[in-house]
């Protein structure tokens, strides 16, 4: 893992990608900082931190697009996969390298805070919370980007897929607001609650079966999946669950809390578990490729 981390970090600076990412990040954040904090003469920085989320959606795919797709294309993955390193080690090494470059970008916000402090003392707790939130958000985006990069040999395709995924996650909160609470009833007005539950159970069961075939036929996935499906289905039939799920999954909703200075542990855990889930999925994709 250490070897891969070191090589990957260096490779960001032997190719232009590391420089482009950092330069773009510094430029956009500086612009945002000037227009939202300096020009308004305020010590609040939440405007910049909120805008940075949108900037990340554009920049993170550039950072992660080549991590695994390039290896596959140049067949250098043969070197990694036949070396005595675990798949988890390979993915973790690549993730940490991208994270390091990202943190080098985020570090600039400390400079902005110091600039503000020259005028008036800002609320340091809020700023620390903001930086932690931005780092966690970026980590989750990087994990998604790496996962997308494992799906294809083509860098551009990888960047586009991760861009679309991130935009979707960003828009989840809006989608959640659009969906009315009783939309399931509207969808199937002529059916009683029992039938609605059955239909939803069937849909969820089909999804579980899909996962079962996709991620190696393991009985564990099937059992846990079906138990989750039954519980989910019962709640979903009541209606208000679906908009709620969108709301809970929304990156925007989770991140805004940080920018307002609210450090909610569940939000932090949400981003951390996103990282874990997507890195795990990446390992599964690599594993599956060996068996194909």
Partner 1 sequence: MIEVQHLSKHYGDKKAVNDISFRAEDGEILGFLGPNGAGKSTTMNILTGYISSTSGKALIDGVDILEEPLKAKSKIGYLPELPPLYLDMTVKEYLNFVYDLKKCKLPRNSHLKDICSLVKIEHVYNRIIKNLSKGYKQRVGLAQALVGNPNVLILDEPTVGLDPKQIIEIRTLIKKLGRNHTVILSSHILSEVQAVCDKIIVINEGKIVADDTEDNLSRKLSSDHKLTVRIEGDRDKALKLIKDIKDVVSTDIGPGKEENITEFRIEAKEGKDIRRELFISCAEAGFIILEMRSSELSLEDIFLRLTMGDGLHDNDGGED
Residue 110: both structure tokens together: 């400390």
Pick 193 or 216: Cβ nearer partner 1: 216
Pick 79 or 228: Cβ nearer partner 1: 79
Shortest distance, position 18 Cβ to partner 1, whole Å: 12
Shortest distance, position 148 Cβ to partner 1, whole Å: 22
Burial class of 154 by CB neighbour count within 10 A (0 to 12, 13 to 18, 19+): middle
Pick 75 or 217: Cβ nearer partner 1: 75
- H, E, C per residue of the chain: CHHHHHHHHHHHHHCCHHHHHHHHHHHHHHHHHHHHHHCCCCCCCHHHHHHHHHHHHHHHHHHHCCCCHHHHHCCCHHHHHCCCCCHHHHHHHHHHHHHHHHHHHHCHHHHHHHHHHHHCCCCHHHHHHHHHHHHHHHHHHHHHHHHHHHCCCCHHHHHHHHHHHHHHHHHHHHHHHHCCCCHHHHHCCCCCHHHHHHHHHHHHHHHHHHHHHHCCCCHHHHHHHHHHHHHHHHHHHHCCHHHHHHHHHCHHHHHHHHHCCCCCHHHHHHHHHHHHHHHHHHHHHHHHHHHC
Pick 45 or 80: Cβ nearer partner 1: 80
Pick 265 or 291: Cβ nearer partner 1: 291
Pick 166 or 283: Cβ nearer partner 1: 283
Shortest distance, position 89 Cβ to partner 1, whole Å: 10
Shortest distance, position 283 Cβ to partner 1, whole Å: 14
Shortest distance, position 71 Cβ to partner 1, whole Å: 9
Pick 12 or 271: Cβ nearer partner 1: 12
Shortest distance, position 275 Cβ to partner 1, whole Å: 24
Shortest distance, position 222 Cβ to partner 1, whole Å: 22
**Which residues contribute to the site for partner 1 (CB under 8 A)?**
2-4, 6-7, 10-11, 14-15, 74-86, 290-292
């Amino acid at each position: 893992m250490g070897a891969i981390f070191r090589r990957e970090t260096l490779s960001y600076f032997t190719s232009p990608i590391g420089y482009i990412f950092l330069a773009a990040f510094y430029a956009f954040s500086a612009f945002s900082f000037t227009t939202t904090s300096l020009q308004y003469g305020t010590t609040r920085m939440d405007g910049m931190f909120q805008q940075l989320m949108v900037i990340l959606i554009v920049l993170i795919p550039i950072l992660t697009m080549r991590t695994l797709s390039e290896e596959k294309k140049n067949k250098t993955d043969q070197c990694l996969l036949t070396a005595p390193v675990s798949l988890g080690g390979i993915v973790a090494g690549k993730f940490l390298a991208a994270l390091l470059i990202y943190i080098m970008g985020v570090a600039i916000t400390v400079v902005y805070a110091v600039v503000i402090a020259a005028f008036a003392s800002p609320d340091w707790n809020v700023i620390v919370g903001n930086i932690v939130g931005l780092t966690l958000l970026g980590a989750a985006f990087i994990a998604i980007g790496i996962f997308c990069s494992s799906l294809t040999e083509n860098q551009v395709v990888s960047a586009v897929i991760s861009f679309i995924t991130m935009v979707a996650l960003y828009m989840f909160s809006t989608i959640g607001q659009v969906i009315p609470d009783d939309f399931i009833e509207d969808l199937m007005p002529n059916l009683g609650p029992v039938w609605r539950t059955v239909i939803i159970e069937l849909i969820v069961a089909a999804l579980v079966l899909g996962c079962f075939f996709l991620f190696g036929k393991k009985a564990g996935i099937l059992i846990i999946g079906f138990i989750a499906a039954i519980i989910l289905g019962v709640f979903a039939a009541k209606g208000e669950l679906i908009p709620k799920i969108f709301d809970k999954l929304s990156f925007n909703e989770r991140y805004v809390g940080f920018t307002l200075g609210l450090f909610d542990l569940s939000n932090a855990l949400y981003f951390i578990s996103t990282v874990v889930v997507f890195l795990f999925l990446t390992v599964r994709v690599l594993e599956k490729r060996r068996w194909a």
